[in-house]
Structure 1
């Protein structure tokens, strides 16, 4: 895929959704960090249901610590893997207080040192909370990037590196959100809705459907 096509793809995605953002509910960097930690192998809807009850009670590292591990689990028990997630979030809260003054750090190295925070989560925080032009590659973005031809790669790191190299700078800040939403609602895994896709004519996918 050439640079002109890529530019047009993102121009159309921008025109359709000028101000994309995560579907997780958050109002502070810590709330976003907590929500993303809870979101692994869970839906944003499910996470939001839990955090809508949790955050009014505890939305700071100290607030989570004050709940205690059992108290925290009582709020997030509807989310998959909640036991492990509760332990990681509690450990993260202690580290934030002890090493970062209770604030979420703004560097990849510091974020990835937190329990349960890998490269993808760090990218989400850096991009969404702090406005850095990172691209977190999840299953949706991996699929869309390979299927459309925007950035083909064998693993998420290769796709991320190619996206950072090929996405025009003017679109880089929001590229993560456009691609994930496109993969979530249009370029879905089994039967992509090519019939209603705004970039269908620019896409390299050979097995297009007429589904809308």
Structure 2
């Protein structure tokens, strides 16, 4: 895939969604951090239901620590792996208070040192909360990058590095959101909906699904 085609892909995704953002609901960088930690192997819808109950009661490191691990579990028990996640969230709250004055650091190394926070979560927070040009590669983005030919790679880090290298600067701020939403709702894992894809003619995927014919009106 050449640079012109790659730029046109992003241009079309931008035209369709000029101001993309995460589907996780949050009001502060801390709420976003907690929501992303909770979202591992869970849906955004499920996380939003849990945080809609949690955040009105506790949405700061101090307030969540006051709940304690058992108290936090009661709010997030509908989410997969909630016991491990509760332990991690309590740990990251404690670390934020002890090392960062209760604030979410705008630093990759400091973020990745927090319990339950890996590179992908750090990328989401840096991009969405702080506007950094990072691209968090999840299963959706990994699939889209490989399937379309936008930035093929054998693992998520290879894809991330390629996307950062090959994505034009004007699109880097929002590339993560465009690609994840495209993978979630159009370029689906089992059966991509090529018939309604805005970039179908630019995509290198050889096994495109057939276009559904337009309904015939009476």
TM-score range, shorter chain: over 0.9
Please, what TM-score do these two structures have when normalized by structure 2?
A: 0.96
Q: Provide the residue aligned with 2:215 in structure 1.
A: none
Q: How many residues align?
A: 212
- Deviation sequence 1:138-157 (CA, Å, 0-9, x none): 00000000000000000000
Q: Provide the residue aligned with 1:142 in structure 2.
A: 142
- The Cα shift of 1:69 comes to 1.0
Query: How many Å separate the matches in 2 of 1:198 and 1:107?
Result: 35
- The Cα shift of 1:68 comes to 1.1
- The Cα shift of 1:211 comes to 5.2
Please, what TM-score do these two structures have when normalized by structure 1?
A: 0.99
CA contact (8 A) 1:191 1:211 kept: no
Q: Provide the residue aligned with 1:77 in structure 2.
A: 77
In structure 2, the CA distance between the partners of 1:193 and 1:211, relative to structure 1 (3 Å rule), is farther
Query: How many Å separate the matches in 1 of 2:211 and 2:61?
Result: 46
Q: Provide the residue aligned with 1:48 in structure 2.
A: 48
Q: State how 1:1-212 maps to structure 2 within 5 Å.
A: 1-210=1-210
- The Cα shift of 1:11 comes to 0.3
Query: How many Å separate the matches in 1 of 2:102 and 2:110?
Result: 13
- Deviation sequence 1:102-145 (CA, Å, 0-9, x none): 00000000000000100000000000000000000000000000
Query: How many Å separate the matches in 1 of 2:211 and 2:99?
Result: 51
Query: How many Å separate the matches in 1 of 2:125 and 2:144?
Result: 21
Specify every segment of 5 or more residues in structure 1 that has no aligned partner in the other structure, as ranges.
Answer: none
Bigger Cα Rg: 2
Query: How many Å separate the matches in 1 of 2:211 and 2:7?
Result: 25
- Deviation sequence 1:37-69 (CA, Å, 0-9, x none): 000000000000000010000000001001111
Query: How many Å separate the matches in 2 of 1:36 and 1:211?
Result: 35
CA contact (8 A) 1:192 1:211 kept: no
- The Cα shift of 1:173 comes to 0.3
- The Cα shift of 1:70 comes to 1.0
Secondary structure, in 3 states, of the residue corresponding to 2:201? Answer: helix
Query: How many Å separate the matches in 2 of 1:183 and 1:36?
Result: 18
Secondary structure, in 3 states, of the residue corresponding to 1:158? Answer: helix
- The Cα shift of 1:210 comes to 2.0
